[in-house]
Structure 1
């Protein structure tokens, strides 16, 4: 057993767990947070995406002991205009993937804002304009079995435009 303290959604939470427990299982089974979903349990679907110190990760592939002393944000700890943009733009249907989609989109927007390139980034791209192609590529690790991708892209574009307006104001 290993003693681990993880800050989850701003609150320090302690565990005494076997070292092989995934972060996803710790969040769901030990802390009762049902936002991160166990979709594929192989890192292929993105339903378990959470933010670790602001960076998006697949919590099913991470061991809880790796995150001792770190900040984990799940959908339960998110309060962002992106959430209402998802609703307004029909970026969800059944809702199963939505927590992971939103956490991933928040991490992706931060990556983009910081200038992290992607496979489709143009060499001298204007970081103020996030294209549909760029969003689709950067969000490709998050699957939606209902096919709400068009609404997800619109919600992210809307939120990115709000961020750009705030910076220029």
Structure 2
């Protein structure tokens, strides 16, 4: 199974985007078949997303530790290591345990600019048995890169990841 950017080049229409996310879901299931290790799964998921979804400059996890997030497996440039729940888009996601889909990060109060090239951001909570384990953060240099179809697609892929992962194998 190939994991190339070209698999997702046509996300210009809702039907094309839905087909792309169906393919991503199938790839996610294939990657995690028979693997439960938390660190391996989070690293593989980050790489899969970063290398198959166009228009991203960062994709990865921040792990919940008390009232802050600590950098986890990711793909992209160097990143902020610690983010308090009280700051930034990732902190807002962790604090509210709700998806943050931000069209213009520069207009978001308290935005943390780890990479000045980022223009939009999507952050999804990773909840296991009602507990926040992490947030999955996606940054894009494109304004308004993310929409409701992206939210649904990534939520479905994260559900596969969550079910396939032994969360007790991760520190925390």
TM bucket, shorter chain: under 0.3
Structure ranking higher in strand proportion: 2
Which of these two proteins has the greater Rg computed from alpha carbons?
1
State the TM-score, normalizing by the size of structure 1.
Answer: 0.26
